[in-house]
């Protein structure tokens, strides 16, 4: 069934090419399409395009369809082009001619927009909860291992002392930046496009404020063309937020892979969380973090993909938009898995102790020794040269003690302040 059916069929090759994998992707949107139908039906009733009996029968049938979706028994067969046509068919099959009225004052264009906006809202909230779980894990581990020193690097060369307290809480605070992107994407998604129809409104006296309230949107996309222009912009805004999170996870994964390496040995994981080699019996590979890194890097490419699909399109609907669904929905599903797996692994990390006791790490404390001389009244440049000469002559013998007291340093992690900042951004 096609909503645009005019009594003739198209070539099967054309149909297969134009439909693509929409049926599979639309299953993710089905419950939101039902919600859009419910709100639209109530609005049509309010302007007397549906009578009381028709509205009641439509709502009962839509509830049955929603229950099938939640139970996992709802399918979109090959005879249907998309979720919109399947639900309208089911509705008509259940209640007859009243079901044929549901598309009044509406287009598939604003239908799919409503579905995507509702879907994005719900998924962003779910992703935020997963971020909170990861944030809580990082803060917990930061506090638990705040006294364990590790090397800090610049240019990937030994630089200055760091700590696991710093490392864990650094990623916790970085997640707050990612939340800000997500909050912006949520605000963009929280606008009702229903009523824009094919992009130019309708001559029916519809009540768009009513559907905005029924669907729980903060506001509506007032201008009907602007509503259609949100296709692509919605996906792009969410993609940038996902890309920001992915950048955080990718870097965290790379650090973890490095820290697990035997030459570093900063932390490890229970052997059942690692994988082995087919010929090297000693191997415990960091496959989980390698896949987190790879999948996160793939997500970081999504904004560019969306830009290239949409940047030269004129206003109004284009079939090009169909290709946004796969990357958009796929990235959201992938991101949820990545956040879950990162939390899962870090909750079980085994942190090594006394890492900096090795002589290899002596030079990490050079800046500490310079600063001690400065505190005794020696000008910084002279102190720097004095310690530099000691290093060159092989006479450098550092006191392996770090005293940092300023906010956000090894000795003052400011975990309470980071938690407060997160709470205010979590909304």
Per the CB < 8 A criterion, the answer to whether 345 and 273 are in contact is yes
Q: Give the span between the Cα atoms of 35 and 115, in whole angstroms.
A: 8
What DSSP assignment string belongs to 32-91?
HHHHHHHHHHHHHHHTTSS-HHHHHHHHHHHHHHHHHHHHT-----TT-SSHHHHHHHHH
Residue 303's pLDDT band (boundaries 50, 70, 90)? Answer: very high
User: Which of 175, 152, 118, 144 is closest to 342 using CA atoms?
Assistant: 175
Predicted confidence (pLDDT) at residue 331 exceeds the cutoff of 80: yes
Residue, of 45 and 2, whose pLDDT is higher = 45
Per-residue model confidence (pLDDT) at position 4: 41
Per-residue model confidence (pLDDT) at position 233: 95
Predicted confidence (pLDDT) at residue 116 exceeds the cutoff of 90: yes
Task: Decide: helix, strand or coil at residue 31.
Answer: helix
Mean pLDDT, range 293-310, rounded to an integer: 97
Q: Is residue 283 part of a domain?
A: yes
Class of residue 404 by CB neighbours under 10 A (exposed 0-12, middle 13-18, buried 19+): middle
Least confident of 4-13, 80-89, 90-99, 369-378: 4-13
Q: Does residue 306 sit in the same domain as residue 177?
A: yes
Per-residue model confidence (pLDDT) at position 19: 59
Q: Does residue 363 sit in the same domain as residue 261?
A: no
Residue 8's pLDDT band (boundaries 50, 70, 90)? Answer: very low
Percent of the chain's residues with pLDDT above 90: 84
CA angle 250, 253, 255 (to 5 degrees): 110
Write the CATH number for 339.
1.20.200.10
CA angle 244, 183, 114 (to 5 degrees): 105
Least confident of 8-17, 311-320, 349-358: 8-17
Angle between the 224-260 and 108-144 helix axes, to the nearest 10 degrees? 30
Chain segment 271-298, per-residue pLDDT in tens: 888 887 667 777 788 899 999 999 999 9
Q: Does residue 85 sit in the same domain as residue 124?
A: no
> Token pair for residue 71?
């139970």
Chain segment 183-231, per-residue pLDDT in tens: 999 999 999 999 999 999 999 999 999 999 999 999 999 999 999 999 9
Chain segment 225-244, per-residue pLDDT in tens: 999 999 999 999 999 999 99
Per-residue model confidence (pLDDT) at position 12: 65
Q: Is residue 202 part of a domain?
A: no
Instruction: Out of 117-121, 262-266, 275-279, 286-290, give the one with best mean pLDDT.
Output: 117-121
Residue 18's pLDDT band (boundaries 50, 70, 90)? Answer: low
> Token pair for residue 295?
């999948």
Q: Give the span between the Cα atoms of 259 and 254, in whole angstroms.
A: 9
Predicted confidence (pLDDT) at residue 37 exceeds the cutoff of 60: yes
Predicted confidence (pLDDT) at residue 155 exceeds the cutoff of 90: yes
Give 235-280 as a 3 state SS string: HHHHHHHHHHHHHHHHHHHHHHHHHHCCCCCCEECCHHHCECCCCC
The alpha-carbon radius of gyration of the chain (Å, integer) is: 29
Per-residue model confidence (pLDDT) at position 154: 95
Q: Does residue 252 sit in the same domain as residue 138?
A: yes
Per-residue model confidence (pLDDT) at position 284: 83
Mean pLDDT value across the chain = 93
Q: Give the span between the Cα atoms of 330 and 388, in whole angstroms.
A: 53
The sign of the CA dihedral 272, 274, 275, 281 is: negative
Taking residue 230's Cβ as centre, other Cβ atoms within 10 Å add up to: 20
Into how many domains does the chain fold? 3
Strand 267-268 to strand 219-220: parallel, antiparallel, or no bridges (unpaired)?
unpaired
- Write down the residue that tokens 């392996």 correspond to: 400
Strand 219-220 to strand 191-192: parallel, antiparallel, or no bridges (unpaired)?
parallel
Q: Does residue 417 sit in the same domain as residue 290?
A: no
- The domain boundary, picked from 330, 355, 380, lies at 355
Residue 398's pLDDT band (boundaries 50, 70, 90)? Answer: confident
Residue 338's pLDDT band (boundaries 50, 70, 90)? Answer: very high
Q: Is residue 205 part of a domain?
A: no
Structural domain of 379:
357-426
Q: Give the span between the Cα atoms of 122 and 190, in whole angstroms.
A: 10
Give this prediction's pTM. 0.92
Q: Does residue 81 sit in the same domain as residue 149?
A: no
Mean pLDDT, range 320-325, rounded to an integer: 92
Q: Is residue 4 part of a domain?
A: no
Predicted confidence (pLDDT) at residue 15 exceeds the cutoff of 70: no
Mean pLDDT, range 322-343, rounded to an integer: 96
Percent of the chain's residues with pLDDT above 70: 95
Q: Is residue 229 part of a domain?
A: no
Task: Decide: helix, strand or coil at residue 135.
Answer: helix
Q: Is residue 179 part of a domain?
A: yes
Q: Is residue 228 part of a domain?
A: no
Q: Does residue 282 sit in the same domain as residue 315?
A: yes
């Amino acid at each position: 069934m096609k909503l645009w059916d005019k009594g003739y069929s198209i070539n099967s090759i054309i149909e297969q090419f134009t439909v693509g994998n929409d049926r599979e992707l639309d299953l993710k949107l089905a419950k939101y399409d039902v919600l859009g139908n419910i709100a639209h039906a109530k609005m049509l009733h309010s302007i007397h395009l549906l009578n009381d009996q028709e509205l009641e029968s439509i709502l009962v049938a839509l509830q049955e369809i929603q229950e099938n979706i939640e139970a996992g028994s709802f399918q979109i067969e090959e005879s249907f082009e998309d979720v919109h046509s399947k639900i309208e068919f089911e509705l008509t099959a259940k209640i007859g001619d009243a079901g044929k009225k549901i598309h009044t004052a509406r287009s598939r264009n604003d239908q799919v927009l409503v579905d995507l906006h509702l879907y994005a809202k719900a998924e962003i909230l779910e992703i935020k909860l997963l971020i909170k779980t990861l944030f809580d894990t990082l803060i917990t581990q930061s506090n638990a291992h705040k006294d364990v020193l590790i090397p800090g690097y610049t240019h990937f060369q030994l630089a200055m002392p760091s700590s696991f307290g710093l490392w864990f809480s650094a990623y916790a605070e970085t997640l707050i930046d990612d939340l800000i992107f997500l909050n912006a994407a949520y605000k963009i998604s929280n606008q009702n496009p229903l009523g824009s129809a094919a992009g130019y409104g309708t001559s029916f006296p519809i009540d768009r404020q009513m559907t905005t309230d029924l669907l729980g949107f903060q506001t509506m996309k007032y201008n009907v063309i602007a509503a259609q222009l949100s296709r692509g912009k919605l996906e792009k805004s969410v993609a940038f937020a996902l890309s920001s999170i992915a950048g955080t996870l990718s870097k965290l994964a790379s650090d973890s892979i490095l820290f697990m390496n035997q030459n570093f040995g900063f932390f490890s994981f229970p052997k059942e969380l690692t994988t082995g080699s087919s010929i090297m019996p000693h191997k415990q590979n960091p496959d989980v973090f390698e896949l987190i890194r790879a999948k996160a890097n793939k997500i970081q490419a999504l904004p560019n993909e969306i830009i290239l699909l949409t940047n030269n399109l004129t206003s109004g609907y284009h079939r090009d938009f169909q290709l946004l669904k796969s990357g958009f929905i796929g990235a959201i599903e992938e991101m949820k898995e990545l956040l879950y797996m990162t939390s899962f692994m870090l909750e079980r990390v085994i942190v090594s102790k006394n890492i900096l006791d090795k002589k290899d790490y002596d030079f990490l404390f050079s800046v500490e020794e310079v600063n001690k001389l400065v505190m005794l009244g020696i000008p910084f440049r002279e102190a720097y040269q004095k310690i530099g000469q000691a290093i060159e002559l092989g006479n450098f013998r550092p006191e392996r003690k770090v005293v940092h007291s300023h906010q956000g340093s090894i000795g003052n992690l400011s975990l309470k302040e980071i938690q407060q900042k997160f709470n205010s951004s979590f909304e």
